[in-house]
Structure 1
Amino acid sequence: MATVRPFKAFRPTRDKVHLVASRSYISYSRKGLMSKLDENPFTFLHILNPEYNKRKTTKANSEARFLKVREKFREFITHQIIVQDEKDSFYIYRQIKNGHAYLGIIGCASVEDYHNKVIKKHEATIAKRENMFKNYLKSTQINAEPVCFTYPNNETIDQITQQKIIERPEYDFTTTNKDRHSFWVIDNPKEVQLIAEAFKEVDSIYIADGHHRSASSALMGEELKSKNPNHTGDELYNFFMGVFIPEQELQIFEFNRLITEIGDLTTAQFLKKIQKEFEVIYVDKEMFVPRKVHEIGMYIDNKWYCLIPKEGKIKASDPVENLDVSILTNHLLAPILGITDLRTDNRVYFKGGLAGVEALKHDVDSGKARAAFAHFPVTMDQLKKIADADCIMPPKSTWIEPKLRSGLTVFSTDENDR
């Protein structure tokens, strides 16, 4: 039984939403970030970079810096760039990208659900990052970028959202990358209650994107709970913001692998070693895209091959070992090339599936990479089996869409904002 709560969002005024909402902070290059800050005084990036163009600055990731973020957020409220809703609400968010519509509900997930594993994860997190972001959340008291969750379809929620999106949206704007963003407010108490009750029928919610944000929110909740002798469980620090997207709306793309060398092996020797573990089929095409699970494309020396694991190489009973990214590592990268830790070995790098196999071919043809491997995307069923088994995927296994914007809605954990 999942707990998903409405909240009173801080959000941009209608005339400024297209200027305020920004891509995730980490997606900008240094040059791109400076350009946005120079050109747009309303971008949420100013809140995240509160000392831009200041002579004296605080230390990065320090409490002093985080408090500056808090001050800048309050400054945006004072200037009525961002205002708070008066009623507890759920919010419908739709993003249309490359012809695909993603539709979800923005609300608050429960820290308790994270701890009791109603909320399920599939990625490992790094303790240092967890603690840094926990301190950020504690000092700023804001969630500005929702965790992306997915859940099995629910008829009640589907009916409410489909009825609502017929109405005029509160926001409707297109960004420079041609993605369209639409947004509706659900503040009718009856509809709000129906949605909250419908989520109670959902047994499990899966983190699609935002494992560190989830872990850090849970850490903060536990810390503040331990310091509060009057803890009830209803305090705002017990919740964190998420967008809840039904399984059929979410898209999982592949994360492809490229290697910069094959050691002292010739291409012929490399292929011969691979043939001990895989059926190696030459593909007489300019491009090859795997069509199903357990098909791996390999591009080397201007040729595409389809690699299919030989019988006995697939461990169907193990949801992690059954992944194609695991099969590639365990039966090719590690035994043939000695690449065992994909996070630290500089002989391997990754490209998200949105780049396409054309990007793999380009890197190999240009000499940047020696060979490239194209995967079929991890399926939703595979992701859920791993999360249900409380297992962890290898790094860079999935590229999840949609990517969400910061500052479209902000959840405050300050009790004065309740």
Structure 2
Amino acid sequence: MTLTQPFAALRPVTDRAADVIAPPYDVLSSAEARVRAAGRPWSFLHISKPEIDLPKTTDPHAEEVYARASANLQQMLQQGVLVRDAGPCYYIYRMVMGEHSQTGLVVAASVADYDSNRIRKHEFTRPDKEDDRVRQIESLNAQTGPVLLAYKSQERVDVMLAAAAEGAPDVDLTADDGIRHSLWVVRDNLLVEQITTAFDAMEALYIADGHHRSAAASRVAASRPGDAGAAAFLAVIFPHRQMQ
């Protein structure tokens, strides 16, 4: 497997993206997530923080919490809120925060390259947090939060990604915190191949955030030998010069 691969994402239909968008699971307490998701039945918090749909006394790591996440995901699929792209794609993702902008690439990153330390770590992980992410992946049969990676900026790659984002985005919205999120789907086979080749030529990628998510993906892959879907983890890669 190459360092990165395109994949067919499950993502909100365009007119539902604003209903689904939510902060990462690990920046909110359960109480804060309940407040944010109130009156928003399609908020992704119902999948990433599913304890909000259970009694407040529920242990966030109880079996029924992971089961509720799975049920909520299935409901969003059945209602057409989330749909899967027809074939493997890359996704250009841009965040604009005030005067700062950074443009990256959403990929399926190689677990084998994580295991061999080509995707490089800089933190130790806690077994209990790994266990939580493993159970989330196994319950949903999906990965819900991207690992944040960085690559050493290369002008050719930076220009390639910027050029892929020149047209109208497939998704373009501003979240409650004022951050603008834009997404372009890269379907062109030649460009997909060029992106794959460019990243596979890199010596390494570097984990900026998501050590528990990537470690959990590695554990799931080890438990599913031969499962191509488990051989990669969801990641978004930014050039290091753009990151804040």
Q: What's the TM-score, normalizing by structure 1?
A: 0.55
C-alpha spacing 1:57/1:30, structure 2 compared with 1 (3 Å):
closer
Residue number in structure 2 paired with 1:174 = 174
Specify whether residues 53 and 107 from structure 1 end up closer, same or farther in structure 2 by C-alpha distance, changes over 3 A only.
Answer: closer
Which structure 1 segments of 5+ residues have no match? Answer: 226-230, 252-418
Structure 2 SS opposite 1:39? coil
- What is the alpha-carbon distance in structure 1 between the residues aligned to residue 53 and residue 165 of structure 2? 41
Residue 105 of structure 1 aligns to a residue in which SS? strand
Which of 226, 229, 243 is the aligned partner of 1:236? 229
- Post-superposition offset of 1:155: 4.1
Task: Quote the RMSD (CA, aligned, Å).
Answer: 2.1
TM-score by length of 2: 0.92
Q: For the structure 1 residues 14 and 194, does the alpha-carbon distance in structure 2 shift closer, same or farther, using more than 3 Å as the test?
A: same
Query: Could you report, residue by residue, the CA deviation over 1:333-354 in whole angstroms, capped at 9, with x for unpaired residues?
Result: xxxxxxxxxxxxxxxxxxxxxx
In structure 1, how many angstroms separate the alpha carbons of the residues matched to 2:25 and 2:108?
Answer: 21
Query: For residues 33 and 198 of structure 1, what CA distance do their matches in structure 2 show?
Result: 39
Change beyond 3 A, Cα 1:53–1:244: closer
Q: Which residue of 2 aligns with 1:369?
A: none
Whether 1:124 and 2:119 are equivalent positions in the alignment is no
Q: Which residue of 2 aligns with 1:23?
A: 23
For 2:171, the aligned partner's letter is Y
Superposed, 1:290-309 pairs within 5 Å as none
Please tell me whether the aligned partners of residues 148 and 208 of structure 2 are also in contact (alpha carbons under 8 angstroms): yes
Unaligned runs of 5+ in 2: none
- Equivalence for 2:242: 249
Which residue does the alignment assign to 1:145? Answer: 145
Q: Which residue is 2:192 aligned to?
A: 192
Structure showing the higher helix proportion among its residues: 2
How far is 1:143 from its partner?
A: 1.2
Q: Letter of the aligned partner of 1:93 in structure 2?
A: Y
SS of 2:242's equivalent in the other structure is: coil
1:22 CA displacement = 0.5
What's the offset of the Cα at 1:25?
Answer: 2.0
Query: Is the 2:30–2:51 Cα contact (8 Å) retained in structure 1?
Result: no
Q: Which residue of 2 aligns with 1:163?
A: 163
- Deviation (angstroms), 1:134: 1.4
Deviations 1:70-94 (CA, angstroms, capped at 9, x unpaired): 1210110110111110020000000
Which has the greater radius of gyration? 1
Identity %: 30
Distance 1:48 1:118 in 2: 28
Secondary structure of 2:88's partner? coil
Q: How many residues align?
A: 244
Deviations 1:28-54 (A, max 9, x none): 244432222222122111223446455
Change (3 A) 1:137 1:172: same
CA drift at 1:65: 2.7
Q: Name the CA distance, whole Å, in 2 between partners of 1:57 and 1:34.
A: 13
Give, in angstroms, the shift of residue 242 of structure 1. 0.2
User: SS where residue 15 of structure 1 aligns?
Assistant: helix
Q: Are 1:2 and 1:118, in contact at CA under 8 Å, matched by a contact in 2?
A: no
1:101 matched to 2:101? The reply is yes
Cα distance in structure 2, aligned partners of 1:104 and 1:63 = 35
Q: Structure 1 pair 5/171, CA: closer, same or farther in 2 (3 Å)?
A: same
Kept in 2: contact 1:170–1:185 (CA 8 A): yes
| Separation in structure 2 between the aligned mates of residue 111 and residue 133 of structure 1, nearest angstrom | 15
1:23 positional shift:
0.3
Equivalent position of 1:330 in the other structure: none
Q: What are the Cα deviations for residues 226-274 of structure 1, in whole angstroms up to 9, with x where unaligned?
A: xxxxx2xx611111000010111112xxxxxxxxxxxxxxxxxxxxxxx
Distance 1:132 1:181 in 2: 28
State the distance in 2 between where 1:78 and 1:101 align. 35
Q: Would you say the 8 A contact 1:5–1:107 is kept in 2?
A: yes
